Chain A
Amino acid sequence: MKLVVVDVTELAPPEPMTVIITALARLPADHCLLVTHRRQPFPLYEKLHQAAWAYHCQVHDDNNISLFIYRQIDQLLFEQHFDGEVFNPP
């Protein structure tokens, strides 16, 4: 599984969501989107689930999170590649 990385830390709403949706629309099969963000996009989570995406969030501090988004069918693949690995902020 390969990572596609987007950094939305310096974007004001709703640009982070636009970047994430555009990246997901283009995400190749067997790939995972890694989003670097300042805060957890809580309202996005349930919608991701409904749209057959899975996510995994690592909170580094008050102002820095890493959010992994991948297709639900790739859950095993994600766990094989990244489970337990902490992605430190750049």
Chain B
Amino acid sequence: MNMSGLSFNALPPIDLPFRFFISAPLFIIACALLILFSGEALWLSRWQANMLALTHGFTLGFLTMVMMGALLQLLPVIGGIGLAKPRLMASTSHILYSAGVIALMLNFIFAENWLTISALILLSLGFGIYLCAIIWLLVKKISQSDAINGFRLALTSLVVVLLLGVLLLASRAGITMPFTLDKQFTNIHALFGLVGWAGILIISVSFQVLPMFHVAPNMPKYIRQYLSVSIFIFLLVYMVYAEFALGLIVISHGVFALTLFYVINQRKRKIDDTSIKYWQLAAATLLLLNVLYFLPDSFYRSADTPLFIALPDKTMLLTAIFIYFYLLSVIQAMLLKILPFLSYTHLQQRCLIDFSAMQFIPHMHEFLNKKQGLALYYLHILSGLSLLAVICEPSLYVFFAACLLLEFSWLLLLMIKCMHLYFTVSQKIHLSNKA
């Protein structure tokens, strides 16, 4: 029996996650402009300076930004405890982190030493403050659920990514390293970021989000207990046996995809829902990645391809699909749920003190209209397809940039609309309490 009487922190003020969420699409809009001005050359290699700016704009500016904001809210909801001094921690880390990502992108584009050093300092401080606060919580205070254990592994991966990134930046700034930072070193940095930090976090969040928001059954126990930890172990193995471990990582994600399909199919209320469409798209993407990964090399960039057209560079293709159709899809699925839910919940909790305030709260769908969410989904598919097109044919870069601009300006608009409604209703409740 779990007795009451524990001291639980309430949700942190809503403007804290909101500032992380609203910053995220701005970075993709900046990425779209970068694509527009970089031309075809951007797509020749993943090592192009502007391509590095682009990938970090996507992964740090959008994906990590949203996940940092979401964790602020998820930890109190899932673990039953919030952060100490959330406003000071979240505001400071958000400003430093945002400035750090901008400096990092500019450092790749302009190759100026002062930009590299600024990025190094700002990102270390921004990440450092945020990570210290969250890690302190995860080590000391919180429950041992499977999701929380997954969060721990994801954050450990983030620490690895950050340390490797700091070494790479320091080397770029001219600081001599006692060892060589070769391409394998960069691959470890990228893989721990995409699979360890973003991937394991998404898997862990799915253990909670699908049963909670979609009234689906829990994921099977062995998946909850072993999937995240297996992927983390494969990441460690990757440092020594790269090819072998990468295969296992891809297969593990295939298993996750099948589990996702199973759980989604077992929902009690099979309501038509855009977030579910996103999850299904993400799961189908992981299965497609299994096929693409295990295709013989002759399919890629080869005149002997059995297909009517040779596939482009394998690493770039698979990474682009993983980021765009898997990671971004799940992040958008969560945003479509979290934005209206948080707005509604924060307002609703104020009604416990004054029940009459319930009259001011609009229906949850008014915070984020279903049709507008569905439009975002179709825009996401369109820009994803345009990404595939530009990887095959770089001259189509204007099309991809335009699709990105459209999709993420729309997302930004939906966020502003939701937040505006929240603050309008909040003001009404405030005035009614005063009266």
Where the two chains meet, the residues of A that have a C-beta atom closer than 8 Å to any C-beta of B are 10-14, 17-18, 21-22, 24-25, 38-40, 42-48, 50-51, 53-59, 62-63, 86
Q: Please, what's the 1-or-0 string for B52-81, where 1 marks a CB less than 8 Å from any CB in chain A?
A: 000000000000000000000000111111
A63 to B4 Cα, complex, angstroms:
18
Chain A neighbourhood of B81, CB < 8 A:
42
Contact, CB under 8 Å: A14 / B80 = no
- Given A14-B345, A42-B80, verify A50-B353 contact (CB < 8 Å): yes
Q: Is B211 an interface residue (CB 8 A)?
A: yes
Contact, CB under 8 Å: A13 / B345 = yes
Contact, CB under 8 Å: A55 / B77 = no
Q: Is B127 an interface residue (CB 8 A)?
A: no
**Among candidates B4, B7, B348, residue contacting A56 with C-beta atoms closer than 8 Å:** B4
Tell me the nearest residue of chain B to A55, going by C-beta: B4
Q: Could you jot down 18 A-B contacts, CB within 8 Å?
A: A12-B215, A13-B212, A13-B341, A14-B341, A14-B364, A21-B355, A24-B355, A38-B211, A42-B8, A42-B77, A42-B81, A44-B349, A45-B4, A46-B8, A47-B10, A53-B352, A57-B4, A62-B218
Q: What range describes how many residues of B lie at the interface? A: 35 or more
Chain A neighbourhood of B77, CB < 8 A:
42-43
Contact, CB under 8 Å: B4 / A54 = yes
In angstroms, how far is the closest chain B Cβ from the Cβ of A66? 10
Chain B neighbourhood of A47, CB < 8 A:
10, 349, 352-353
In angstroms, how far is the closest chain B Cβ from the Cβ of A22? 8
**Among candidates A12, A62, A86, residue contacting B214 with C-beta atoms closer than 8 Å:** A12
A63 to B210 Cα, complex, angstroms:
13
Q: Is B256 an interface residue (CB 8 A)?
A: no
Chain A neighbourhood of B3, CB < 8 A:
56-57
**Among candidates B4, B10, B214, B269, residue contacting A43 with C-beta atoms closer than 8 Å:** B10
- Given A14-B341, A14-B344, verify A24-B352 contact (CB < 8 Å): yes
Q: Is B358 an interface residue (CB 8 A)?
A: yes
A48 to B349 Cα, complex, angstroms:
9
A3 to B310 Cα, complex, angstroms:
69
**Among candidates B2, B76, B211, B269, residue contacting A57 with C-beta atoms closer than 8 Å:** B2
A55 to B358 Cα, complex, angstroms:
22
What is the predominant secondary structure among interface residues of chain A facing chain B? Answer: mixed
A47 to B352 Cα, complex, angstroms:
7
Contact, CB under 8 Å: B2 / A58 = yes
Q: Please, what's the 1-or-0 string for B358-388, where 1 marks a CB less than 8 Å from any CB in chain A?
A: 1000001000000000000000000000000
In angstroms, how far is the closest chain B Cβ from the Cβ of A88? 12
Given contacts A12-B215, A46-B9, A47-B353, 15 further A-B contacts (CB under 8 A): A12-B269, A14-B348, A17-B345, A25-B355, A42-B8, A42-B80, A42-B81, A43-B10, A46-B8, A46-B10, A47-B349, A48-B352, A56-B4, A58-B2, A59-B1
Contact, CB under 8 Å: B351 / A21 = yes
**Among candidates A39, A45, A51, residue contacting B212 with C-beta atoms closer than 8 Å:** A39
In angstroms, how far is the closest chain B Cβ from the Cβ of A71? 12
In angstroms, how far is the closest chain A Cβ from the Cβ of B360? 13
Tell me which residues from 175 to 221 in chain B have a Cβ below 8 Å from any Cβ of chain A.
211-215, 218
A9 to B358 Cα, complex, angstroms:
22
Tell me the nearest residue of chain B to A43, going by C-beta: B11
Q: Is B268 an interface residue (CB 8 A)?
A: yes
A38 to B52 Cα, complex, angstroms:
44
Contact, CB under 8 Å: A45 / B8 = yes
Contact, CB under 8 Å: B2 / A59 = yes
Chain A neighbourhood of B79, CB < 8 A:
42
A62 to B4 Cα, complex, angstroms:
17
Chain B neighbourhood of A45, CB < 8 A:
4, 6, 8, 80
Chain B neighbourhood of A63, CB < 8 A:
211, 218
Q: Please, what's the 1-or-0 string for B1-33, where 1 marks a CB less than 8 Å from any CB in chain A?
A: 111101111110000000000000000000000
6 pairs of A and B residues whose beta carbons are closest in the complex:
A42-B80, A25-B355, A51-B352, A46-B10, A59-B2, A47-B349
A17 to B355 Cα, complex, angstroms:
13
Looking at A51, A54, A63, the one whose CB has the most chain B CB atoms below 10 A away is A51
